[in-house]
């Protein structure tokens, strides 16, 4: 008998070699590596190679991967014009989604040539360009010129450079690089599932990534980190934290960045981001954000036995790096793009169209049509 589960909770929809989220142990695995083994030890580009090849690269392979990504950063002129002409108040995720979709129009063979090599090249191209799209829109909406892409910076450093127009410090680049590593993949989350469902129809890669971006935009998924900063801004100061939490809990409202759908213990990514948030807050002289965060985390652990998740501390990290709040989710998308692409490529290796059942709970069959003039 078919099993009915709202939100597909507890349902295994596919097999994957890419990542595993072990909720009861608070463990995240990429291709056999615990995230704690990777974070701070390998670069984001190494993780990209790992997800796409099921192993870490040697020095030559890493150099080739980096050079390939850097060589594919240039956007088509039409996409640049789209970014320049987008409404200045547009949601950056909408611009990213539309620009990625538009890239598909510059690939006339997107549906004709679906070989593994061709799709892997598309994955490289999209992964290389997605950060440029986000940074260029941020510049364009401020009326600033768009810096030319460079081929001498890693993915994290290049994004920060394009966004600000200045080469970032090594500390800033390294911090964002670790954040990219932590966000690269996360099992069959909503956006990854969306990408796999879309590509399972044998549509093109651009359409699948567009689906994923649209899914990530939601406040219950990637948009949660923006909600954390809005919450901290609403609270305003550390001495108001306790009253705010009491009021939210009394009104049964959600505390952004606390708890997780899968993790039943601590999100393993959170401690890494917390440590970076502490260092950055001290560096930029804005300790109130991390102090407020720490108090919220303490209260929620004491009162609800809930832990902070990856969004809770990533918000403070991004804020301390000078990234605007409405770019938090696009930054998430930049990092996760490599994971989406990996899942798309894996899905196509042994594809089967997703077609789940639904449980009908409507009225019993047998109703008769009443002529329109006789209906009440």
Catalytic residues: 260, 311
Q: Give the H/E segment covering residue 22.
A: strand 19-22
Instruction: Compute and round to an integer the Cα radius of gyration of the chain.
Output: 22
Beta carbons within 8 Å of 261's beta carbon, 6+ residues apart:
9
Tell me if 317 sits within 8 A of 273, measured CB to CB: yes
Tell me if 205 sits within 8 A of 121, measured CB to CB: no
Sheet order of strands, 27-30 included: 19-22, 27-30, 33-34
In whole angstroms, give the CA distance from residue 93 to residue 329: 7
Query: Is residue 273 classed exposed, middle or buried when 0-12, 13-18 and 19+ CB atoms within 10 A define those classes?
Result: buried
Residue whose entry in the numeric block shows the structure tokens 């990408």: 195
- CA distances, 93 to each of 129, 131, 212, 312, 319 (Å): 14, 12, 11, 20, 18
Residue 108 has what DSSP assignment? Answer: T
């Amino acid at each position: 008998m078919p099993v009915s589960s709202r939100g597909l909770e507890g349902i295994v929809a596919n097999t994957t070699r890419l990542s595993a989220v072990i909720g009861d142990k608070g463990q995240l695995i990429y291709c056999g590596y615990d995230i704690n083994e990777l974070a701070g030890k390998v670069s984001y580009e190494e993780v990209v190679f790992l997800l796409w090849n099921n192993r870490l690269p040697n020095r030559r392979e890493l150099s080739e991967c980096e050079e390939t990504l850097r060589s594919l950063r240039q956007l088509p002129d039409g996409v640049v014009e789209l970014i320049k002409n987008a409404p200045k108040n547009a949601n950056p995720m909408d611009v990213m989604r539309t620009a990625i979709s538009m890239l598909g129009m510059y690939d006339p063979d997107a549906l004709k040539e679906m070989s593994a090599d061709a799709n892997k090249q598309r994955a490289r191209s999209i992964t290389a360009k997605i950060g440029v799209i986000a940074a260029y829109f941020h510049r364009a909406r401020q009326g600033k010129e768009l810096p030319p892409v460079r081929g001498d910076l890693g993915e994290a450093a290049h994004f920060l450079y394009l966004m600000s127009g200045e080469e970032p410090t090594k500390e800033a680049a390294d911090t964002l690089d670790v954040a990219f590593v932590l966000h690269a993949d996360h099992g069959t989350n909503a956006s990854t599932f969306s990408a796999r469902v879309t590509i399972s129809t044998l549509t093109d890669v651009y359409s699948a990534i567009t689906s994923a971006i649209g899914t990530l935009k939601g406040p219950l998924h990637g948009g949660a980190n923006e909600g954390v900063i809005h919450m901290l801004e609403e609270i305003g100061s550390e001495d108001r934290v306790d009253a705010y939490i009491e009021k939210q809990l009394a009104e049964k409202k959600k505390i952004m960045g606390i708890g997780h759908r899968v993790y039943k213990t601590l999100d393993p990514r959170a401690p890494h981001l917390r440590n970076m948030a502490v260092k950055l807050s001290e560096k930029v002289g804005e300790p109130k954000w991390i102090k407020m965060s720490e108090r919220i985390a303490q209260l929620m652990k004491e009162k609800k036995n809930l832990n902070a998740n990856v969004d809770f501390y990533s918000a403070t990290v991004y804020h301390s790096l000078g990234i605007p709040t409405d770019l938090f989710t696009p930054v998430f998308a930049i990092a996760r793009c490599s994971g989406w692409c990996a899942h798309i490529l894996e899905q196509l290796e042994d594809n089967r169209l997703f077609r789940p059942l639904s449980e009908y709970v409507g009225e019993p069959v047998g109703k008769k049509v009443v002529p329109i003039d006789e209906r009440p």
